[in-house]
Amino acid sequence: MTQENTGDSLITPRFVAIVILVLLILVIVVQNTEVVTFRLFFWSVSMSQIILIPLMLLIGFVVGLLTQAHLSRRRDKRLRHVTTPML
């Protein structure tokens, strides 16, 4: 029996890109285990880079999601305002 290609393959270019990105992040995190001091204005925090790097990645991801949500809301509001018929 042969399996026909139905186009529902699990290995898509997007999947490959995600796997490569995750592996790259894991390599970077595992190679950076020393303790560093993070300073922001008046605060100073010492922590391992293995904690700091994923924390900064998470913060950046959340900021990106919030920014995208805010911009899409503004765009939708502007489009509704422009396309609203005047009576």
The tens digit of pLDDT for each residue in 35-84 reads 989 888 989 989 988 888 888 889 999 999 999 998 888 777 776 766 65
Let me know if residue 6 belongs to a domain.
no
Let me know if residue 13 belongs to a domain.
no
Half-sphere exposure of 47 (CA within 13 A, CB side): 13
Pair of tokens at residue 2: 């042969």
**Domain range spanning residue 78?**
54-87
| pTM of this structure | 0.53
User: How many domains is the chain partitioned into structurally?
Assistant: 1
Let me know if residue 81 belongs to a domain.
yes
Let me know if residue 32 belongs to a domain.
no
Let me know if residue 22 belongs to a domain.
no
Let me know if residue 44 belongs to a domain.
no
Let me know if residue 11 belongs to a domain.
no
- Residue 78 · residue 72 · CB < 8 Å: no
